[in-house]
Amino acid sequence: MKPADHPDIQVSSGGAGNDGIHLSHFAGIGLSCLVLGAVVGVSSGLLGMFLDEVEKVFLGFVESSSQPSPLGVPAIRRLISVVVGGCVAACIWWYLRNKTTRVPSVAQAVKGARMPVWQTLLHVITQIFLVGTGGAIGREVAPREAGAMLGSVWFRWARKFGLRESDRPLLVAAAAGAGFAGIYISPLTGALFGLEILLASTDMTAVTVCLTMSSVATLVGGAIKGFGPYYIVGEQPFSHWTMLFALIAGLLAGVVGAVFRCLTRWAETNQATGLTILWMLPAAALLTGLVAWILPEVMGNGRAIAQSAMRLSASSIGQAGNYSASSVIAFFAALGVWKFICTSLTIRAGASGGTLTPSIGIGAALGVILGIVANCCGLSVPLWQAAIIGAASTLAASQQAPLMALFMLFEICHLPAPALLPLSLAVALSTAVSHRILVNHNNSKFEASN
């Protein structure tokens, strides 16, 4: 078959700036999915490797599901690490925001804002560096921003492959979601981030592009970092008692998630700018380091809190165990509250980063507390299941993205299919409760402004 006869290839007639074989729109989109998926997957894998190196140099350990917190690292080293990280990050962000082209958010990039290449790369690397040194903020924004930047660059270069201007938002959003998928090895979550949060669309083309790109990025990212679960969980089957627990946890997580969203949004709106970031971010890092002197799980993106909750067994609590129920509840309450405070203050002080994994950590702490209370009241629920339900429902409430939250916990924990039933119930309830709280909060702010 000649190129001119192929339905997906068009042959130009020559002329200046218009010669050679041009792919049609359909083939151009397909090529974009494969190329961007692979490149973004490499980007996410490299960011994950960079995080490991930063942790190794500054803390002398590498975070993993079996060793999620720097508990064995001397307290003074933890303090120095996070303070140095805060000082370095403050200087870099002050420069990026005041002396050169500012880096737009992923949402702004989807709407057409141009992402400057070297500024975005430095901005992304700084986020990973801060988390690696112990900063109390999520790292998931960095691979998404890297993906969005790569999507923007590819679109500008690949217009000759038949891409249209209307394809730019889709490719940028899909590449951002692929960045998430490539670092957490979660293709559905990455696709749903692009569809549910960035595009707010279920158009068939959008679904196909987001799923394809996230799948390719997951394959490449997994080849670099491995395909193991991000969190290690138990193996007990989900029972009917778990459904009853999901009713209670979903309602309470909706409140906690809504409050966390309001506080972090306030922190972002009032974020330190100009010279103030040079003292506020180191101060927030100092607070994190002082808290981590006693509670090292507060450091980082929240993985340590969530994993500590998910590997807790009811047999280790009470008369037959090593800890009393009240002491465990107090421990996780302290972790959740301090993570809440440190993450919000870190954002307020000028840091860029995510709130997804901090939400998971806070929600897991809430879930395990409720699980202990439920078991004391005769409701037999494995504590790791309680932690996962709390994590998923708090994440859904704080992000207002129920599907993404549901499948994120499902994928990164490698859960069995029966887990979807209680998780879906808890996520639905928490989303409904938090939405009502947020609507009332926004209405109150509107009335106050008038």
Per-residue pLDDT band for 2 (boundaries 50, 70, 90) equals: very low
Of 12-16, 140-144, 172-176, 420-424, least confident by mean pLDDT is: 12-16
Query: Tokens 């997906």 label which residue?
Result: 8
Summarize the confidence of residues 436-442 as an average pLDDT.
Answer: 88
pLDDT at 319 over 90: no
Encode pLDDT of 232-283 as tens digits.
Answer: 999 899 888 899 999 999 999 999 999 999 999 999 999 998 999 999 999 9
DSSP letters spanning 206-227: HHHHHHHHHHHHHHHHHHHH-S
Encode pLDDT of 340-363 as tens digits.
Answer: 999 999 999 999 999 999 999 999
What are all long-range contacts of 70-79, with beta carbons under 8 Å and residues at least 24 apart?
70/134, 70/296, 70/299, 71/296, 71/297, 73/296, 75/292, 75/293, 75/296, 78/134, 78/289, 78/292, 78/293, 78/296, 78/299, 79/286, 79/289, 79/290, 79/292, 79/293
Per-residue pLDDT band for 324 (boundaries 50, 70, 90) equals: confident
Per-residue pLDDT band for 321 (boundaries 50, 70, 90) equals: low
Percent of the chain whose predicted confidence (pLDDT) is above 70: 92
Summarize the confidence of residues 40-46 as an average pLDDT.
Answer: 97
Encode pLDDT of 81-136 as tens digits.
Answer: 999 999 999 999 999 999 999 999 999 999 989 999 999 999 999 999 999 999 99
Q: DSSP assignment, residue 238?
A: P
Q: Which has more pLDDT, 446 or 424?
A: 424
pLDDT at 7 over 50: no
What is residue 19's predicted lDDT score, i.e. its pLDDT? 39
Encode pLDDT of 185-236 as tens digits.
Answer: 999 999 999 999 999 888 899 999 999 999 999 999 999 999 999 999 998 9
Chain mean pLDDT for the chain: 90
Summarize the confidence of residues 402-431 as an average pLDDT.
Answer: 96
What is residue 69's predicted lDDT score, i.e. its pLDDT? 86
**CA dihedral (437, 306, 399, 81) positive or negative:** positive
**What's the CA gap between 425 and 393, in Å, rounded?**
9
What is residue 162's predicted lDDT score, i.e. its pLDDT? 78
What is residue 71's predicted lDDT score, i.e. its pLDDT? 87
pLDDT at 5 over 60: no
Encode pLDDT of 13-35 as tens digits.
Answer: 444 344 334 458 788 899 999 99
What is residue 15's predicted lDDT score, i.e. its pLDDT? 41
What is the set of domains in the chain, with CATH numbers? 22-225 (1.10.3080.10), 240-449 (1.10.3080.10)
Q: How many helices (H) and strands (E) does the chain have?
A: 16, 2
Per-residue pLDDT band for 448 (boundaries 50, 70, 90) equals: low
Show the DSSP H helices in 5-105 as ranges: 25-58, 75-98
Q: Which has more pLDDT, 444 or 438?
A: 438
Under 8 Å between Cβ of 260 and 138 = no
